[in-house]
Every structure is written in structure tokens, then in C-alpha cells.
Amino acid sequence: RRGDIVLDPFMGSGTTAIACIRLNRKYIGIELMPKYHKLILTNIKEEILTANIINNFFITIYLIALCAK
């Protein structure tokens, strides 16, 4: 349902995050592999700009940044 929270402990390329943007769900994503961090951020930013939608994705970006350190 709209506004539900989805937890994705293995983000990969961020496909689930993009689905959440399109379905207006909140998203918490975790990815430990540094090679995916830039790809995930790029894909999420592109989706937000393309769809012209801004949701609560600060949690996702914050978790990615923590894993990158």
C-alpha cells in the first residue's frame, strides 16, 4: 500500500528502490558491496529526475554512505 516501508538488505543495482519510488512507498536499502554504491545512487537519482518525484529516500542514501566508509 501507499506509504508502506520496504526493507531491502541486498540492494544490488537499486531495482527495488526504483519500484518503491514508482509505487510511492518508503524504502530502506542496505548494500555492503562498494562497487554498487555509485550505481545505486545514479539509478535512484535518474528515476527521481525522470519521474519528477521526491519521496523519503534519505534513509537509503544515508545507509549507502555509511557502508562506503
Q: How confident is the model at residue 8 (pLDDT cuts 50, 70, 90)?
A: very high
What's the predicted TM-score (pTM) here?
Answer: 0.68
Q: Residue 67, Cβ neighbours under 10 Å: how many?
A: 15
Beta strands in the chain, from DSSP E residues, in sequence order: 5-8, 26-29
Task: Tell me the average pLDDT across 26-52.
Answer: 83
Q: Which pLDDT band holds residue 7 (cuts at 50, 70, 90)?
A: very high
Output the average pLDDT for the chain: 77
Say how far apart CA 17 and CA 44 lie, in whole Å: 7
Mean pLDDT in residue range 45-52: 75
